[in-house]
Amino acid sequence: MQIRPFEATDWPLLWALLEPVFRAGETFPHDPAISEAEAQLAWVEQSQAVMVGVDAAGAVVGTYYLRPNSLALGAHVVNAGYVVAEQTRRLGIGSRLCQHSLQAARRLGFRAMQFNLVVSTNTAGIRCWQRNGFQVVGTLPGAFRHRRLGYVDALVMVQGLVEGPKP
């Protein structure tokens, strides 16, 4: 898999990857009825960096975005979101995207990466993030309205990106 910057011509393939995940209402807080234009704004336009993972056949099999987690005095902490194509899950793509995003965030000067709303039922994602050095620093009771399961907990996960004092 090649991981490269998103290009505008990738959008139809990226939307095909994102749409079923958003519609499922199981891992992202976006409205399951999100429009394509709203999704493009949320994933691409509001991000500092967007990458796509492309297989040998040219199919987009994964993506991630990076953006500051907060404004001004909190902008040294980056937030990221990841999606892996359903048919290519459990092949290590999420882990490769995560490792790539950590390196990219360091190059961009971020001091830590924080995931704000890791849905507690997303056990594969939680295991992936923990294997890649993230720690659970908090649980938000009933913070995610899962489309099938109702209100479930969400985790806040963090990893420092620099040596020395924590952000």
The model's pLDDT over 110-137, given as tens digits with 9 standing for 90+, comes to 999 999 999 999 999 999 999 999 999 9
CATH for 2-160?
3.40.630.30
Q: What is the C-alpha to C-alpha distance for residues 78 and 48, in angstroms, rounded to an integer?
A: 10
Sketch the domain layout of the chain as residue ranges. Answer: 2-160
State the amino acid at position 110 in one-letter form: F
3-state secondary structure of 148: coil
How does pLDDT run across 92-102, given as a tens digit for each residue? Answer: 999 999 999 99
pLDDT digits (tens, 9 = 90+) for 83-94: 999 888 888 999
Q: How high is the pLDDT of residue 165?
A: 59
pTM for the model stands at 0.93
Between 123-131 and 93-107, two packed helices, what is the crossing angle to 10 degrees?
Answer: 50
pLDDT at 159 exceeding the cut of 90: yes
